[in-house]
Structure 1
Amino acid sequence: MKRLVMAAAVMAGMSGAAWAADPVEGVWQTEVDDGSFAHITMSPCGEGFCGVISKTFKEDGSEYVSENQGKTIVMDMIPRGNDEYEGQVFRPSNGKTYYGTIGLEGNMLKLSGCIIGGLICAKQNWTRVE
C-alpha cells in the first residue's frame, strides 16, 4: 500500500509539471511597425504555439480597433530547446508570411522573419505584458 501511495504521488507531481505553462505563453507587446504596435496573445496550437493580435495601438499609445485584430501572426512555433522556437510569422503591413524564429530571453521575445533561406531577415524584440 505504501508503494501505491508513493507511485500516485510521483505521478501527480509529473502530471502537474506537464500542465505547467510554457514561458512563451502570455501577452507580448510588439515594436512599432508602420506607425502602430500590438499586443500578441501567445498560446498553444497543435504541437507548437501561435500568436494572435489581441489589441492594437497607435504609435502614441492610444488604443484603436484595427482590421488586423484577431489575426494569427505567429504560426506553429515549435519548441527546439534552449528557449528557441521555429515556425512562421505573418506581417500584416505587407500581407506576407515568412519563415520565423523566436528566442526567449527573460521577458523578451526576439522574433525574426526571414526569406531566401534566412539570408534576409527582419527582427523585432517583443516585451512581456502579462
Structure 2
Amino acid sequence: MSKFTALATVAILTASVSVAAAAAPIVGNWQTASGETAKIAACGNAYCTMIVTGEHKGKQIGQMSGSGANYAGQITDPANGRTYEGTAKVDGNSLKLTGCALKIFCRSQSWTRK
C-alpha cells in the first residue's frame, strides 16, 4: 500500500467517524423519568424511540428529526397511547423532551443517558 493510499484511507475513516459522531448526539440508551430504558436509534431519515425495559417494553414512543442538540417530531405517551407534537433538546448526558397538545398544553420530562 502506498503512502498516499494509506493516508487517503485514514482520512476517509476519520471523516466517517466524525460525521457519525456529530450527526447523532441523541442516539443511545436513555433512562426515562419513570425509570425505564428507552433506545433512540436512526430509522430512515429520522430517529425512533423504543422502550426496551419495563411495563411498556417494545413500544415505539417517538419519531423525531433534527441534528445537533435540537429535534422535533412526535412523542407518544406509552401509558395511554396519545401522540403529541414534541421537541427534544440534548445537553450532554441530559435529554429534555417536551410534548404539547394544541401547542398550548405542554409537559416536559428529563432523561439521562445510560
Find the aligned partners of 2:18 and 2:9 in 1 and give their Cα distance.
14
SS of aligned partner of 1:92: coil
Unaligned runs of 5+ in 2: none
What is the CA RMSD across the aligned residues, in angstroms? 2.0
Q: Which residue of 2 aligns with 1:74?
A: 62
TM-score, normalization by structure 2:
0.83
User: Are the aligned partners of 1:31 and 1:126 in contact in 2 as well (CA < 8 Å)?
Assistant: yes
SS of aligned partner of 1:55: coil
Report how many aligned residue pairs link the two structures: 112
User: Which residue, 7, 22, 25 being the options, matches 1:23?
Assistant: 25
User: Which residue, 72, 84, 107 being the options, matches 2:93?
Assistant: 107
SS of aligned partner of 1:23: coil
Question: Aligned pair in 2 of structure 1 residues 18, 80: CA closer, same or farther (>3 Å)?
Answer: closer
Question: Aligned pair in 2 of structure 1 residues 115, 14: CA closer, same or farther (>3 Å)?
Answer: same
Query: Which whole-Å deviations, capped at 9, do the CAs of 1:87-121 have from their partners, x for residues lacking one?
Result: 110002221011111011111100011121x2211
Structure 1 residue 27 displacement after superposition = 1.2
Unaligned runs of 5+ in 1: 57-65
Find the aligned partners of 1:115 and 1:31 in 2 and give their Cα distance.
20
